[in-house]
Chains A and B, each alone.
Chain A
Amino acid sequence: MLDDFLVRAALAGVGVSLAAAPLGCFIVWRRMAYFGDATAHAAMLGVALSLTLSTPIFAGVLLISLLMAVTVSTLSGRGYAMDTLLGVMAHSALAVGLVAVSFLSGVRIDLMAYLFGDILAVGKTDLAIIWGGALLVLVMVGYRWSALLLSTLNPDLAMASGISPRREQLVLTIALAIVVAVAIKVVGVLLIAAMLIIPAASARRFSRTPEVMALMAAIIGACANVAGLSFSYHFDSPTGPTIVCVVAVLFIALNTIQLISQRLSARLTSIRQD
């Protein structure tokens, strides 16, 4: 079964979606959408590093993503606004990465594969890395779930309960770096943030608890992956972007449905608000 490249691609996409869902929720809740973006952009430097040192892409990307995530976590709140800091680091790292890649002589590099992913080229080893990383992220986030939630809701309440919000932020940051590293093959540097944020944002309006939102985000992400893959196969469109297009359409469709049903029950809502 794993010999079919489409099956491997589908499994890879689903694996990334599962790990990205709860992380994406935290990114939405904590308003750190740009953080995911920045970590992903910095990953390009990791690609260059891996190619230079002939190590697996995954290792280089993981290293740089971690470095980036930890640096930003540490520096934030020390005189620079978070988004300024991210802007400086992310784009510098992306630029340095692209320049560094161009200097690599003798290696023909398909830059597009890293920028937009190459999910159809996922091999068995890639699949193992993706699922290993995804499971690791799920275990990390699952284990710290309540502490992460309370830190997200209010850091002071967390402190009063003996939870360190800084430590929880670090857990989140490391998990994010792992997801970026495993997702680069699937959707590429430029579209990872979309896989993190859009499923979570789509799930928001249909969720009453954080757990439901994370679960729905996972389902939406996984469905979009499979659907995107099949569209891409039939219409011969680039796979990564097609998957993101499907997620975006789902986002719009779900929000429209919600808006219409909200209009219909507008009366009920106004009574509730009184």
Chain B
Amino acid sequence: MHEAVKPARTFVLNAALKDAEMLIQARNLSVRIGKVPILNGIDLHAERGEILTVIGPNGSGKSTLLRTLIGALKPSGGQIIRSPGLSIGYVPQRLHVDETLPMTVKRFLQLPHRVSSAAMQAAMDNAGVPGLLGQQLISLSGGQLQRVLLARALLDKPGLLLLDEPTQGLDRRGTAEFYRHIDTTRKALNCAVIMVSHDLQVVMRQSERVICLNGHICCEGKPEVVSNSAEYRNLFGFEDDEDTLAVYSHRGHNQAPDALQEAV
């Protein structure tokens, strides 16, 4: 089972995004914040229509990775290649709105450029928060704000959607709806999704590929492959906890059949 896991460093990349399906690619990416190395030797790519999930313990650099991919942080080494004209939708882990800044949801959706009322309404309906357009951002609950952020991220029909623990502040039903919406969107837009998640069960159900991060890529592959790998189990402290793993594979009904085969 373990040998099925790709050791991260040996992952071979093709030359500059020859593949039309390839949207973004990181090569041997290293990031420091101040003098502290956060990420080291990261190789990853995302293709049109796939969901790539990044998991890892606290402080493993998950948010740093996403922030580097959107260009908010400069890599200290390696490079990021985007397909030309790639539009990115980004949902941050949380949005702190200063209380001195008056901002309705409607105005927020139109940053940085104008959007038609119909498009805004549709995006809000799809995100499950139809009645909030006139509300102030600071008056929204955490869950409402996450949905508004998603609605905004989808307005431009992005080619790549980056989600940083997007279900924080959502209840269980809300979380399920949220992921269902992501899945529908991915199919409708044929976009790639890279998301950081703590919901391991959801990860198992939804992702094509999982990257297990801890400063470097510990392991990657199909969800079942990763969850059975020694690296993953070490990282999350599952060494002797076969029950936990049993729960995951038990709940993993919705996976594609071929994924299941490989896992078994």
Against B, the Cβ 8 Å flags (1 = close, 0 = not) of A193-228 are 000000001001001111011000000000000000
> Which of A31, A154, A210 contacts B92, CB < 8 Å?
A154
Chain B residues within an 8 Å CB radius of A147? 112
If the complex has contacts A147-B112, A159-B72, A160-B162, are A152 and B139 also in contact, measured as CB distance less than 8 A? no
B111 touches A149 (CB 8 A): yes
B102 & A207 in contact (Cβ 8 Å cutoff): yes
Q: How many Å lie between the Cα of A155 and that of B103 in the bound state?
A: 16
Residue of B nearest to A164 (CB): B71
Chain A residue at minimal CB-CB distance from B114: A146
Q: Give the interface segment out of B93-101, B165-173, B179-187.
A: B93-101
Chain B residues in 8 Å Cβ range of A152: 101
Of A150, A154, A207, the most chain B CB neighbours within 10 A belong to: A154
A213 near B72 (CB under 8 angstroms)? no
Number of B residues near A (Cβ < 8 Å) is: 25
Is B144's CB within 8 Å of the partner chain A?
no
B139 to chain A, nearest CB (A): 7
Partner of B102, one of A158, A213, A273: A213
Q: Which of A161, A201, A207, A213 contacts B112 (CB 8 A)?
A: A161
Residues in A with CB closer than 8 Å to B102 are 204, 207-210, 212-213
**Does B89 belong to the interface (CB within 8 Å)?**
yes
Do A210 and B107 form a contact, CB below 8 Å, given A156-B67, A157-B92?
A: yes
* CB < 8 Å neighbour of A153 from B67, B89, B90, B103: B103
Which 9 A-B pairs have CB atoms at the shortest separation, nearest pair first? A160-B90, A159-B72, A146-B112, A160-B70, A207-B102, A150-B111, A29-B101, A156-B72, A159-B71
Complex A-B: 10 CB contacts under 8 Å: A28-B100, A146-B113, A153-B108, A157-B95, A159-B70, A159-B71, A160-B90, A208-B104, A208-B136, A210-B102
Q: Please report A residues at the B interface, Cβ cutoff 8 Å.
A: 28-31, 146-147, 149-150, 152-161, 163, 201, 204, 207-210, 212-213, 272-273
Known: A31-B98, A161-B112. 5 other contacts (CB 8 A): A146-B113, A147-B112, A150-B112, A210-B107, A272-B139
